[in-house]
Structure 1
């Protein structure tokens, strides 16, 4: 049976520590995913081509309009002028070419001895030789009739024709001559040939030569033109439809181009797209992972792990996320700024009081990110609502950081006022950032709702705290303060039935609280636990010396063994009484453990004296258990020291110091602190703290004379 029981215990521990943990984390992730899934669901607007739109339709994303970009590039290419090259030396080159023509004709004419009377065959041979000589310049082709006219011209006329031709070509090509202007320039040059020195046949021949040698010197540059047009196209920026940009305005006629843009940004996409859902899954997984990390960090810093802390954390976190979701629908009311009333500071306030400050800050950041997605859904313009995220972030941080270290309950005016002020300032700054127009009604209402958000968060936090404390049995500072109230039934029971025990408990509480604060433990818990640690004495108050006001000690009439049984029972009777009144477990544990396994020395020695046989020491030791926490260790020490000092007849600072040191050494050597994580250094600090406190209580006093004799002044 033992191995089976051991296996069941291990399985139960495994289920609690791992399966339960991961189950809650998975539930948190699933709920968050469901709350934010609206951000990736298709938001297809109800629009039809050539109909009037009833709403403004905005782009949910940034998208590049490739078709509009391409049209813009074509416009840039079309508006870029062609590139041309101006060859100002081309005129001189053409003059040289025409000079080569006349030189070739002159050389052939001399070689063939051509005259005006030469036969046709001789002329044909000469023309053939001229063409052979001009074959090096394939771009020029002079007709045979023109060559014949030049060959048969008299030398003087030929020379004049050469000079006139060269001059006409040079003058015609001295400026920019494009292909469009070429014919006009050629005709002008031909018309300028002087008829006084040239006959008609020579003028016709020179006209042909001019038309052949006058060419364009301002020509199209294809390479440069292509390069310029490409640069113009590359300089065109992409036409982008920005997130939040209005594609279709209310009251406009829906055109085909608008339909194309709506399809481009995915508003009319009829195909199911998994990518946004995967993106939301990764985002939710990141939020859940940080949530899990912070909880594990909190769990590692607590000695006794309890799954209830995860329940509290998850419940507050998810509850606030649901509140954010509900408040996002307030925008549908069209009331200006109504969504600013969202009590986002509620979660940080509750987590700060119930768990830790760090978890409150991290939770505020995570909830702001979640809220930005949720409010982005209602905005219908973007996946994230950045202004709302900033507003919620600072409001949540104010809720997490506004409580002071020792403040146990958020004060209505103080805490609510600070959060409200932060909300107002952040909302104003966001309006200024966005250069939004201010209006008395709209802006005023937004600020009023932001102001109310702070106080609403405090009201909800104060209202929900008792529910968490009762439902999860949380020992919060508020609960401890309530338990320390003297009007509590159990404290009144001690005061009435065991007044000596009550005053002893008050002294122990003072010693324990200060000592715990000195080592960083929970001083408030130690004080309240000290109030209740001897509640078991109310069952038989007269058997405890502090309650024997009449001087009668019932232990003198009974055996040491019976006295031992009565004394031993008070920690466990007290624990039973506390359980019956549903007191916190931490206080019950300290009441049950505050004597550990110490020996009841007085009755042990008495039993030894009355017995003929040796009495085992174990019979006069408390059954335990030993203290498990630092607060329990401090209460145990304060209890035993206060009782010992109270029994001293004339306590002095030196006597008190020696007694404190003796009890500390005795408890330490007896191993009473072996089951808790208190260190020797901390015990030394506790010893010093208790010693200093007791010195303040039992300080030296002036001894006044009993009889004060006053001399009477005689009257004269």
Structure 2
């Protein structure tokens, strides 16, 4: 008891507190520990200004930072400066000069300034204008200019504003640089019309034009900086590629060669972190694909994402560890013993528990990991190409060989298929090597490859129950086992409620076909339909399909009591299923298959017997409403099948009308509001159920009762 409680607490802690990224990090660290042996380089024996005794290749891909930086500096130096043209600045300046004249006009009006006003009043008005324009960058106008404009008549002030606005707009309609600014200002001043302006106002406008005409085409420091940065970014890194010959045999070793050898870590006398960073990047890529597949699954199945991650992590690290252990078999020097590794086991289990796509992607990643692990044991530079091909095709065979509806992988059938693929791959690899075949070595290699396939299936069958039990997984294999008619619960329904049993079989047929139409899990719907009414076994005779003698006990009890008995059966069924440790998905469908629907018959009966109005909610199932597509399909199939079964003289037309009626009733009652099923999918479910029932209740030929067989004399 204590052990069971401790196990449950540990499981709850792991599922609750370990974050997704924490699990991914742990998987990455395990892979790093397994693969770190591949980044321990061997330093070549070369010296400066001596002849190289052999070719020296780079063991990794790395960036030559010095050469790259030189190219980037060259690109930055050749990038021209950028200039910006603000074509709207002219309009902005026109608006600003308009604000100037509006301010002058307002002060003139408020202080009642005229040409005859005392100088003190004029000075006070000029100060008022200066204060109002204090926040403007172009407000540094002299006292005499403001005084001249202030004392001008309203007519002359308006003319001055129009001339200033026009002159500024025309002057700044083209590009005006800082070098050209003085020339443009002087030109605008020279073009002021003397016929309509007196000397004092013309002088004031001259200062206004010089203050408000400004450069609209200037050096753009930010754009220049961005252009130079972009030019630097566009320079490709100078990369020394893995396998690239840095020093050729017979060449004189130069300083640049020594620098490149140090850069790739071949001349480090002390600890060199670069190869370890390279491995970290590789594992980072692998873990990115790992996370991407988890993310895709989490979007489609948010309820099971935690289980997915734990299973995926366990299988991935377990398979990598298995390959690491099997790689040491090479120390035995037995020919072909490396092919004994049963990597197909991992993709088989992932295919069964998760999905085919995840299994294929995992096969690709594990083949990459395995090729490096076997490269370490073979003392190869990076990876073992032969093992890469073998592991890839062997793992893919495990991901693709299993059928959807297949129960536990059959040792002979599945193992034989994987073994055949392994043997063909090894045979082709032996031919590629173009080496003489020897009977013993060839036989051992092919034999180990064949045995690997059968070991993979045996391990899969042995580990599957552990995963299903430990993670409460409802796999296709588990569903097929639960659909066995000899299951104790199905036998219980058959014996104690035979009518319910046959009703459940019919619902299962309807639900599975409908789920197939909308892409839902038809097998889950079928199995859930078998068990959805197991709660009726508690009081079987209170349900019409089990009243074989025609006696209805509801005739002798109140509608309220009948309601209590009928409404309890989904929840009684859920309790029974829990007692039998059935999967949660099946329990949920059994509990939800009536949603919050109304018991119309007993509701109407109660209303007829009661003098007071009865609240409809008293005769509704408490729910919850269906939460999944499979539950929605089972609910529709259950209600429609029961209604058709109760119909007198059913025919295709009556069945079709009844199906539409029930469908519309459930839809208008909001029974699918909490489910992710679409209206289009519901219509497809309706059509599928109708077509299936038409096949059951099709028209039959009525034979006359008095039809007699006539004997034909053949003589």
Sort the TM-score into its range (normalised by shorter chain).
0.5 to 0.7
Partner of 1:647: 646
- Root-mean-square deviation over aligned CA pairs: 3.0
SS at structure 2 position matched to 1:674: coil
Distance (Å, rounded) in 2 between the aligned partners of 1:72 and 1:680: 72
Q: What secondary structure, in the 3-state scheme, does the structure 2 residue paired with 1:598 have?
A: coil
Other structure's SS at 1:460 match: helix
Cα deviation, residue 368, structure 1: 1.0
Shift of 1:268: 10
Aligned partners of 1:473 and 1:584 also within 8 Å: yes
CA distance in 2, matches of 1:345, 1:295: 20
* Counterpart in the other structure of 1:533: 532
Distance between the aligned counterparts of 2:685 and 2:20, measured in 1? 37
Structure 1's 483 and 406: CA in aligned 2 closer, same or farther, altered over 3 A?
Answer: closer
Q: Deviations over 1:199-251 (max 9, x none)?
A: xxxxxxxxxxxxxxxxxxxxxxxxxxxxxxxxxxxxx995359xxxxxxxxxx
Relative to 1, partners in 2 of residues 1:264 and 1:66: Cα closer, same or farther, differing over 3 Å?
farther
CA drift of 1:549 comes to 0.6
Task: Show the counterpart of 2:482.
Answer: 483
The offset of 1:551, in angstroms, is 1.0
Q: Compute the displacement of 1:436 (Å).
A: 2.9
Q: Say whether 1:326 aligns with 2:325.
A: yes
Structure 2 partner of 1:696: 695
Aligned residues: 504
- Closer, same or farther in 2 for the Cα pair 1:518/1:704, shift >3 Å? same
Q: Could you report, residue by residue, the CA deviation over 1:667-703 in whole angstroms, capped at 9, with x for unpaired residues?
A: 0011100111111111111111111111111112222
Is residue 515 of structure 1 aligned with residue 514 of structure 2? yes
Q: CA deviation at 1:309?
A: 1.4
| 2:276 aligned residue | 277
In 2 relative to 1, CA 264–460 (structure 1 residues): closer, same or farther, beyond 3 Å?
A: same
Contact 2:359 2:399 survives alignment (8 Å): yes
CA distance 1:296–1:408, shift in 2 (3 Å): farther
Q: Which runs of 5 or more structure 1 residues have no equivalent in the other structure?
A: 1-12, 43-59, 74-235, 242-261
Q: 441-450 or 460-469: which moved more?
A: 460-469
Correspondence 1:22-101 to 2 at 5 A: 22-41=21-40, 69=51
Superimposed CA distance per residue, residues 587-606 of structure 1 (whole angstroms, 9 cap, x where no aligned partner): 00000000000000000000
Change (3 A) 1:438 1:668: same
Deviation at 1:499, TM superposition (A): 0.5
Counterparts in 2 of 1:161-310, with a 5 A limit? 238-240=247-249, 271-310=270-309
Give the conservation status (yes or no) of the 8 Å contact 1:64–1:240. no
Cα 1:363/1:240, change in 2 over 3 Å: farther
The C-alpha deviation readout for 1:20-41, integer Å capped at 9, x for no partner, is 2111111111111111122234
Measure, in 2, the Cα distance between the counterparts of 1:71 and 1:572. 83
Could you say if the C-alpha distance between residues 487 and 67 of structure 1 is closer, same or farther in structure 2, counting changes exceeding 3 Å?
Answer: farther
1:101-500 superposed matches below 5 A? 238-240=247-249, 271-500=270-499
Counterpart contact for 1:65–1:238, Cα < 8 Å: no
Change (3 A) 1:652 1:435: same
Q: Would the aligned equivalents of 1:645 and 1:651 in 2 still touch at CA under 8 Å? A: yes
- SS of 1:371's partner is helix
Q: Does 1:606 align with 2:605?
A: yes
Displacement of 1:504 after TM fit? 0.5
Q: Distance in 2 between matches of 1:351 and 1:458?
A: 13
Unaligned runs of 5+ in 2: 1-11, 56-244, 251-260
Please tell me whether residue 671 in structure 1 is matched to residue 682 in structure 2: no
CA distance in 2, matches of 1:237, 1:693: 73
Whole-Å separation in 2 of the counterparts to 1:286 and 1:460: 29
- 1:307 partner SS: helix
Q: Take 1:670 and 1:541, find their aligned partners in 2: how far apart are those partners?
A: 28
- Residue 546 of structure 1 is matched in structure 2 by 545
TM-score by length of 1: 0.66
In the alignment, the residues of structure 2 paired with residue 632 and residue 707 of structure 1 have an alpha-carbon distance, to the nearest angstrom, of 49
Within 1, Cα distance between the matches of 2:411 and 2:674?
42
**CA 1:331–1:311 in structure 2 vs 1: closer, same or farther (change >3 Å)?**
same
Structure 1 residues 264 and 653, CA, compared in 2 at 3 Å: closer, same or farther? closer
Name the CA shift for 1:239/1:490 in 2 (closer, same or farther; >3 Å): same
Alpha carbons of 1:597 and 1:416: their partners in 2 closer, same or farther (altered >3 Å)? same
In 1, the alpha carbon distance for the partners of 2:709 and 2:399 equals 67
Q: Tell me how far 1:64 sits from its aligned partner.
A: 7.7
How far apart, in 2, do the equivalents of 1:496 and 1:569 lie? 21
The answer on whether the counterparts of 2:43 and 2:268 sit within 8 Å (CA) in structure 1 is no
Report if aligned partners of 2:294, 2:305 keep a CA contact under 8 Å in 1. Answer: no
**Residue 517 of structure 1, CA deviation:** 0.5
1:50-107 deviation line (CA, Å, top 9, x unaligned): xxxxxxxxxx68998866636999xxxxxxxxxxxxxxxxxxxxxxxxxxxxxxxxxx
Q: For residues 72 and 547 of structure 1, what CA distance do their matches in structure 2 show?
A: 90
Q: In the aligned structure 2, how far is the partner of 1:427 from the partner of 1:713?
A: 72
Instruction: Quote the Cα distance in structure 1 between the aligned partners of 2:249 and 2:416.
Output: 45
Deviation for aligned residue 1:710: 5.9
- Comparing 476-485 and 419-428, the one that deviates more: 419-428
Structure whose CA Rg is larger: 1
What's the offset of the Cα at 1:618?
Answer: 0.8
Q: CA deviation at 1:661?
A: 0.5
- Whether the aligned pair in 2 keeps the contact of 1:64 and 1:239 (CA below 8 Å) is no
Aligned equivalents of 2:631, 2:641: Cα separation in 1: 15
Structure 1 distance, partners of 2:381, 2:398, is: 28
1:581 Cα deviation from its structure 2 partner: 0.7
Give the SS at the match of 1:400.
helix
Q: What secondary structure is seen at the aligned counterpart in 1 of 2:19? A: helix
Aligned-partner SS, 2:434: coil
1:353–1:408: 8 Å Cα contact kept in structure 2? Answer: no
Provide the residue aligned with 1:188 in structure 2.
none
Partner of 1:595: 594
Question: 1:313, 1:429 → 2: CA distance?
Answer: 32
Contact 2:496–2:540 under 8 Å retained in 1: yes
Looking at structure 1, the residues matched to 641 and 511 of structure 2 have their Cα atoms a distance apart, in angstroms, of: 10
Aligned residues of 2:356 and 2:400 also touching (Cα < 8 A): yes
> In structure 2, what is the equivalent of residue 557 of structure 1?
556
Q: Which residue of 2 aligns with 1:137?
A: none
TM-score (norm 2): 0.67
> What's the CA shift string for 1:231-281, capped at 9, x where partnerless?
xxxxx995359xxxxxxxxxxxxxxxxxxxx99998997522222222222
For 1:334-392, what per-residue CA distance to the aligned partner results, in whole angstroms no more than 9, with x for missing partners? 11111101011111111111111111111111111111111111112323112111111
Task: Say whether the 8 Å CA contact 1:66–1:239 is kept in structure 2.
Answer: no
Q: Which moves more between the two structures, 448-457 or 685-694? A: 448-457
SS at the partner of 1:69? coil
